[in-house]
Amino acid sequence: MRLRFHHVLGRGAYGEVVLAEDTVTCQRYAVKVIRKRALLAEVELADVMVEHRVLQLTSGSRFLVHAEFAFQTKMHVLLGLEYLSCGDLDQLLQSKGPLDVNSARFYAAEMVCGIQHLHTMGIIHRDLKPENILVAETGHVKITDFGLALENMYGDRTANDYAGTEGYVAPEMDAREEYNAAVDWFSFGVIINQMITGERKYHHKLFNESTSGAKSIILQLLKRNPAKRLGVNRDIRKHRFFQQIDWISVESLRVPPPHILESSKPEHLEPFHLDAVEAAEAKDFRPSPKDQAMFRGFSFSNLKTLLDTSSKTTGASSPTEPP
């Protein structure tokens, strides 16, 4: 197996995100290690399957995190995401404090590219927030975490189930009304406001400027009526806030990022051993053939080159793909 696991990057209800490295190419990945037991019991399997599908589609945009591979062992499914080493926008805001308008405009413009790409594929993210905007060592940003995404939201289709994070959720979703992709633009408005003022809630008194267009774009994105909200009905790229933005340069990563950050290091390095977590799970869970059949077709991409070579660096149990 040529994938070497390093340390844990983060944890969720489903399992861990672990830094891993391809020992041949030295390419690093953020591997989401998800317990099959959690998927079969508590966390909805459908959500992970949506995330798995969306992460393959997102490779079409430089502003969306995508999956390079997926595979499974007896006890886990593993999703190999591109690794962005400089933390997220939430950490950036915590370390730098509120951003100057030009920096906020840069991140907002890159996010617009990602959000519009998702929406043209009929996907609503539903959980846009600074924690889900990752920063690369180049200083560019990408949207991640498609665990709450909704697919096939083309045309006039609407949904009504509640999903998201308090403070970023659009009023129509909060009111349990039918909603569309406009919910992402509301969250985006909260993020721009937060980048500039440091606050999630909009306060008139924090804006005394009128020239940058920041106040205007935030107010248009935070409109309670989704039909009047900027983003879905009018081209947000043409808003005054983005007047000086050359979108072709943004799309091709030619706009220099305002901040180059140091790679983030977790305070406590917690090593990860796939063997150990497999064995721990096996103690009190025996997936039946019917359980395993639920994960059929999960593996994709360069599975062969990543896993089927003779050098064994982790000693992990061999990956399985039920027939």
Among 65, 79, 148, 191, binds ligand ADE (CB under 6 A): 65
Told to check if 77 binds ligand ADE by CB under 6 A, we report no
> At closest approach, how far in Å is the CB of 282 from ligand ADE?
26
Among 1, 8, 9, 92, binds ligand ADE (CB under 6 A): 9
Told to check if 133 binds ligand ADE by CB under 6 A, we report no
The 3-state secondary structure of the chain, one letter per residue: CCEEEEEEEEECCCEEEEEEEECCCCCEEEEEEEEHHHHHCCCCHHHHHHHHHHHHHHHHCCCECCEEEEEECCCEEEEEEECCCCCEHHHHHHHHCCCCHHHHHHHHHHHHHHHHHHHHCCCECCCCCHHHEEECCCCCEEECCCCCCECCCCCCCCECCCCCCCCCCCHHHHCCCCECCHHHHHHHHHHHHHHHHCCCCCCHHHCCCCCCCHHHHHHHHCCCCHHHCCCCCCCHHHCHHHCCCCHHHHHCCCCCCCCCCCCCCCCCCCECCHHHHHHHHHHHCCCCHHHHHCCCCCCEECHHHHHCCCCCCCCCCCCCCCC
Of the residues 127, 275, 284, 291, only one is catalytic, namely 127
Q: Which is nearer to ligand ADE, 16 or 184 (CB)?
A: 16
Q: Which is nearer to ligand ADE, 12 or 167 (CB)?
A: 12
Told to check if 83 binds ligand ADE by CB under 6 A, we report yes
> At closest approach, how far in Å is the CB of 313 from ligand ADE?
21
Among 144, 187, 193, 194, binds ligand ADE (CB under 6 A): 144
Q: Which residues of this chain interact with ligand ADE, rule CB under 6 A?
A: 9-10, 17, 30, 65, 81-84, 134, 144
Q: Which residues are catalytic?
A: 127
